[in-house]
Amino acid sequence: MADQAPGVRIDGLTVVYKTPAGELPAVRGISLTLEPGTITGIVGESGSGKSTLALSLLNAVQPPGRIAAGSVEIDGLGDVVGFAGEQLRKARGAHIGYVFQAAQNSLNPLKTVGKQLLDLGRSHGVADLRGLVREARELLGRMGLDGARVLDSHQHELSGGMRQRVGIMLALVLNAHLVVLDEPTTALDMITQANILKIVREVHAERGLTTLVITHDIGVVAEVADRLAVMYGGRLVEQGPTREVLGSPRHPYTRGLIRAIPRLVGDIDEARALPGRPPTLVTVPKEGCVFRERCELRMDVCDTVDPSVVADGSRIVACHAVTVKEHAS
């Protein structure tokens, strides 16, 4: 595989979970392109399907879930949805790095970081394990840690911010150029959050990566992402360049989200919470717009017809009201 940032094309991806009520979609018909060398942010509430989407990039949706339709085409690899067994295992880690949420314990508590690094190297047939350790130490040093000491530590001896940097190191050390970060700053304090985001940005630029950041925090996306995709009820409702989407949101959900952020200056009451609650796997509507229950622009057509995804330059929106308005003008 070429030593450069790969592009990723997700097309018509649907992921279903087996429940007592039958197979229900957590992610439905999502199409999303990650341009080589960009940082894409995916924002959504809990249960919007964003983590499921992230796992799909590694074809790692956990049972009882499964990818029911669609493809995830990664440059230099192919469609990972068709991968299985050894082929899939080797793609994970070596080509696609996955960084867990810092609060999750992503390290074996009984082994030092260094030993787990060696396990990783052996799993991927790295001949020069000494070189791998050197690389890991450099990466950790690059992120402001004492590499030798961290490699000699167990998980319980590291702070949240340190663990997160170890996670990033493990995702990158095999020279993966596609990196997925799942809630990289959740459960970290503000200063550590800022540090981690800075590291993500810098490492992304230095190593020439294609990066996908999953978060529920619009602030994180605003900080790092070139492009922003908003998920709701398993659907992508809006995407586009981060500045444009945040500056002039089109989808009523995106608008509601942004309006709900309290400002540093001005009246606190200006921030208005979005009424209602997000749908769950069971309550998400089978047909029509998934957002209609909470939408202020609701029309009759929303109850019956899925809004189609309409592209307008670099902006993509799936909403009847927005489409109608644009046709009228």
Partner 1 sequence: MMIIIRRLAGHLARGFVMILVVATISFFIINNIPGDPMAARYEKLIEGGMAPEAAAQAVKVLYGFQPTGTLWQQYSDFMGGLLHFDLGVSVSRPGTPVLDVLTEAAKWTVLPVLVGTLLSFLVGVVLGVYAAIKRTGKLGDALAISGSLLHGIPQYVLALLLVVIFATLIPILPADGPVDILFDPGFNAGYIGSLVEHAVLPVVTYALSAYGGWVLAMKSSVVTVLGDDFILAAELRGMKRSIVFRYIARNAILPLFTILALSLGLLLGGAVFIEKIFNYPGLGLLLIDSVNDRDYALMGGAFLLITASIIVANIVADLFYTVIDPRVRSGEDAT
Decide if residue 123 touches partner 1 (CB under 8 A). Answer: yes
The interface region with partner 1, picked from 70-78, 121-129, 140-148, 253-261 by CB under 8 A, is 121-129
Identify the DSSP state of 315.
E
The distance of closest approach from Cβ of residue 60 to partner 1 in the complex, given in angstroms and rounded to an integer, is 6
The distance of closest approach from Cβ of residue 200 to partner 1 in the complex, given in angstroms and rounded to an integer, is 18
Decide if residue 154 touches partner 1 (CB under 8 A). Answer: yes
Residue from 1, 68, 69, 120 in contact with partner 1 (CB under 8 A): 120
The distance of closest approach from Cβ of residue 281 to partner 1 in the complex, given in angstroms and rounded to an integer, is 19
Full DSSP string of 187-247:
TS-HHHHHHHHHHHHHHHHHHT-EEEEEES-HHHHHHH-SEEEEEETTEEEEEEEHHHHHH
Between 158 and 290, CB nearer to partner 1: 158
Buried b / exposed e over 43-80, threshold 16 CB at 10 Å, is: bbbebbbbbbbbbbbbbbbeeebebeebbbbbbebeeb
The distance of closest approach from Cβ of residue 59 to partner 1 in the complex, given in angstroms and rounded to an integer, is 10
Between 117 and 246, CB nearer to partner 1: 117
State how far the alpha carbon of 272 is from the alpha carbons of 26, 258, 262, 263, in Å. Answer: 27, 9, 8, 11
Q: Give me the count of residues in the chain.
A: 329
The distance of closest approach from Cβ of residue 215 to partner 1 in the complex, given in angstroms and rounded to an integer, is 18
Number of residues located near partner 1, criterion CB under 8 A: 31
Query: Cα–Cα distance between 327 and 304 in angstroms, integer?
Result: 20
CB atoms within 10 A of CB 164: 30
> Which DSSP helix (H) or strand (E) runs through 113?
helix 113-123
Q: Which of residues 53-112 bind partner 1 (CB under 8 A)?
A: 58, 60, 62, 89-94, 98, 100, 104-112
Query: Cα–Cα distance between 97 and 221 in angstroms, integer?
Result: 19
Using CA atoms in the order 187, 190, 196, 199, what is the torsion angle rounded to 10 degrees? Answer: 170
Decide if residue 171 touches partner 1 (CB under 8 A). Answer: yes
Residue from 37, 45, 68, 124 in contact with partner 1 (CB under 8 A): 124
The distance of closest approach from Cβ of residue 118 to partner 1 in the complex, given in angstroms and rounded to an integer, is 10
Between 215 and 239, CB nearer to partner 1: 215
Between 186 and 254, CB nearer to partner 1: 186
The distance of closest approach from Cβ of residue 101 to partner 1 in the complex, given in angstroms and rounded to an integer, is 8
Between 171 and 302, CB nearer to partner 1: 171
The interface region with partner 1, picked from 33-41, 117-125, 281-289, 319-327 by CB under 8 A, is 117-125
Q: Are strands 178-182 and 210-215 parallel, antiparallel or unpaired?
A: parallel
The distance of closest approach from Cβ of residue 1 to partner 1 in the complex, given in angstroms and rounded to an integer, is 14
Decide if residue 122 touches partner 1 (CB under 8 A). Answer: yes
Contacts of 90 (CB under 8 A, 6+ apart): 124
Q: How far is CA 296 from the centre of its chain?
A: 28
* The two three-digit tokens of residue 271, written as one number: 């921030």
Query: Cα–Cα distance between 227 and 222 in angstroms, integer?
Result: 9
Between 60 and 222, CB nearer to partner 1: 60
Query: Which stretches of the chain bind partner 1, using CB under 8 A?
Result: 58, 60, 62, 89-94, 98, 100, 104-112, 119-120, 122-124, 154, 156-157, 167, 170-171
